[in-house]
């Protein structure tokens, strides 16, 4: 789950850009740089985010980080004080709650439905929260897109409450059934201008590769200096050589090309999974596809334990993630009507690997269903 198609990464091109940078810049890549990141990279990121994601910003507002999770961790440290409330999606990825708790603040679970985060419920539970974490493009992990109405309600609340919205643009590039929706950040700038409340979190772990540990924040003007200081006091900045190579990769159009190519590929890979799964899993996995993302949620028959299925599958070399492990707590239970859920990543796997994995999973599911007390079998 969550792994992109690493074998599609243009390794030779990346190596060539790396060699060229060392040849051209040499020792200039070895010194300190701005804590916000290498300036040419910040320019290239701003240009990409404005064009491709509907963000409104200048390069001054860009902060390069070591992946989206690092950005969330850094923002929690800058924006939250001990005791502060912070909205988190329910169900939602656990690392966000960990980052909130790590600074002594209090995660307040806000439910999600088919329209994404239920903003009105957040306002009811914690109107004075300092921060709201949201995945508008693809609610992680269920896949809902945050509706326009909710986006506007979220921005209006943030403006009134003086709260920050952390927009994690998770899977923002990977939508297959429609053009990707522009980021909430652009809407925020239209509504609030320089007094914007949205911090945009961009990951390159999904669009490029997690091993590179690269991501970026786009922050309102008021947060530029606090972020710079926080980064300077923690690990100073991201390594310069890699930033320089990424700057070229973006500026020369390779990144946009790679995103287009992988988007078409993942659309095909999702279609393949959806076509093969019903038969190979013997109708024992009810898939809940969305027209986006890099994984599909599958619901198990009543009484079949997701964690046990995942363990049995892993023992045979197939890794699936129980929904409750990705998003622990009560709400995954509610979201699935009490049934167990498995998240199946499809982006990294071609048709043969997908077929083989589904066959294995099918055998595991059959055994799990057969082991149920007779009254519970379908």
Smallest distance, its own copies to C-beta of residue 171, A: 18
Smallest distance, its own copies to C-beta of residue 250, A: 17
List 210, 221, 278, 350, residue binding its own copies (CB under 8 A) = 210
Rounded to the nearest 5 degrees, what angle is found at the Cα of 203, between the Cα atoms of 151 and 125? 35
- What DSSP string runs through 154-166? HHHHHHHHT-EEE
The sign one gets for the Cα dihedral 201, 202, 205, 210 is: negative
Nearest C-alpha neighbor of 204 from the set 37, 25, 354: 37
The token pair at 1 is: 């789950």
Using CB under 8 A as the binding rule, the residues of this chain from 212 to 231 that contact its own copies are: 212-214
The token pair at 164 is: 């920050």
Contact between 7 and its own copies per CB under 8 A: yes
Nearest C-alpha neighbor of 362 from the set 295, 291, 305, 278: 278
Contact between 317 and its own copies per CB under 8 A: no
Smallest distance, its own copies to C-beta of residue 308, A: 25
- Is the Cβ–Cβ distance between 88 and 117 less than 8 Å? no
Smallest distance, its own copies to C-beta of residue 271, A: 24
Smallest distance, its own copies to C-beta of residue 131, A: 17
List 123, 188, 242, 248, residue binding its own copies (CB under 8 A) = 242
CB closer to its own copies, 214 vs 335: 214
The token pair at 29 is: 């890549």
CB closer to its own copies, 32 vs 338: 32
Q: Which stretch binds its own copies (CB under 8 A): 40-48, 127-135, 233-241, 285-293?
A: 233-241
Q: Which stretch binds its own copies (CB under 8 A): 8-16, 54-62, 181-189, 282-290?
A: 8-16
| CB contact set of 26 (below 8 Å; sequence gap of 6+) | none
Smallest distance, its own copies to C-beta of residue 357, A: 17
Contact between 233 and its own copies per CB under 8 A: yes
Q: Which stretch binds its own copies (CB under 8 A): 2-10, 190-198, 272-280, 307-315?
A: 2-10
Contact between 18 and its own copies per CB under 8 A: yes
The span from the CA of 289 to the CA of 270, in Å, is 9
Contact between 139 and its own copies per CB under 8 A: no
- What DSSP string runs through 254-309? HHHHHHHHHHHHHHHHHHHHHHHHHHHTTT--EEE--SBSSEEEEEPPTT--HHHH
CB closer to its own copies, 16 vs 376: 16
Interface characters, 159-198, with its own copies (x: CB under 8 A)? ----------------------------------------
| CB contact set of 186 (below 8 Å; sequence gap of 6+) | 53, 54, 55, 56
Smallest distance, its own copies to C-beta of residue 21, A: 9
Q: Which neighbouring-strand residues pair with 133?
A: 166
- Is the Cβ–Cβ distance between 135 and 144 less than 8 Å? no
Nearest C-alpha neighbor of 117 from the set 96, 142, 83: 142
Interface characters, 72-101, with its own copies (x: CB under 8 A)? -x---x----x------------x--xx--
Smallest distance, its own copies to C-beta of residue 330, A: 22
- Is the Cβ–Cβ distance between 8 and 220 less than 8 Å? no
Smallest distance, its own copies to C-beta of residue 33, A: 7
Q: Residue numbers of the site for its own copies (CB under 8 A)?
A: 3, 6-7, 9, 11-12, 14-15, 18-19, 22-23, 26-27, 29-33, 65-67, 69-70, 73, 77, 82, 95, 98-99, 102, 104, 209-214, 233-242
């Amino acid at each position: 789950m969550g792994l992109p198609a690493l074998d599609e990464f243009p390794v030779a091109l990346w190596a060539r850009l790396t060699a060229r940078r060392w040849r051209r810049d040499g020792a200039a890549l070895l010194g300190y740089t701005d804590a916000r990141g290498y300036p040419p990279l910040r320019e290239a990121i701003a240009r990409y985010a404005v064009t491709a994601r509907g963000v409104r910003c200048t390069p001054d507002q860009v902060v390069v980080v070591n992946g989206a999770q690092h950005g969330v961790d850094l923002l929690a440290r800058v924006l939250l004080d001990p005791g502060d409330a912070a909205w988190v999606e329910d169900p939602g990825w656990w690392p966000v709650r960990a980052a909130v708790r790590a600074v002594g603040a209090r995660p307040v679970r806000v439910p999600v439905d088919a329209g994404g985060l239920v903003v009105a419920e957040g306002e009811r539970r914690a109107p004075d929260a300092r921060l709201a974490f949201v995945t508008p493009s693809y609610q992680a992990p269920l896949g809902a897109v945050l509706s326009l109405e909710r986006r506007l309600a979220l921005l209006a609340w943030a403006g009134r409450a003086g709260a920050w919205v952390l927009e994690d643009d998770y899977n923002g590039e990977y939508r297959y059934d429609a053009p990707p929706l522009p980021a909430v950040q652009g809407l925020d700038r239209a509504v609030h201008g320089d007094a914007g409340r949205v911090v945009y979190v961009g990951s390159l772990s999904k669009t490029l590769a997690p091993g590179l540990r690269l991501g970026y924040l786009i922050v309102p003007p008021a947060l530029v200096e606090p972020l710079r200081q926080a980064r300077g006091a923690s690990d100073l900045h991201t390594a310069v050589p890699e930033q320089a190579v990424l700057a070229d990769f973006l500026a020369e159009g390779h990144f946009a090309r790679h995103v287009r190519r992988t988007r078409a590929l993942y659309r095909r890979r999702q279609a393949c999974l959806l076509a093969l799964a019903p038969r190979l899993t013997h109708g024992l996995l009810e898939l809940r596809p969305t027209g986006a993302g890099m994984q599909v949620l599958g619901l198990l028959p009543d009484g079949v334990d997701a964690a046990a299925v995942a363990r049995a599958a892993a023992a045979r070399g197939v890794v699936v993630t129980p929904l409750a492990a990705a998003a622990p707590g009560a709400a995954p239970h509610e979201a699935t009507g009490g049934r167990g859920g498995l998240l199946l990543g499809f982006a990294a796997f071609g048709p043969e690997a997908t077929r083989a994995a589904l066959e294995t999973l099918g055998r595991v599911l059959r055994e799990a269903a057969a082991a149920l007390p007779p009254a519970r079998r379908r």
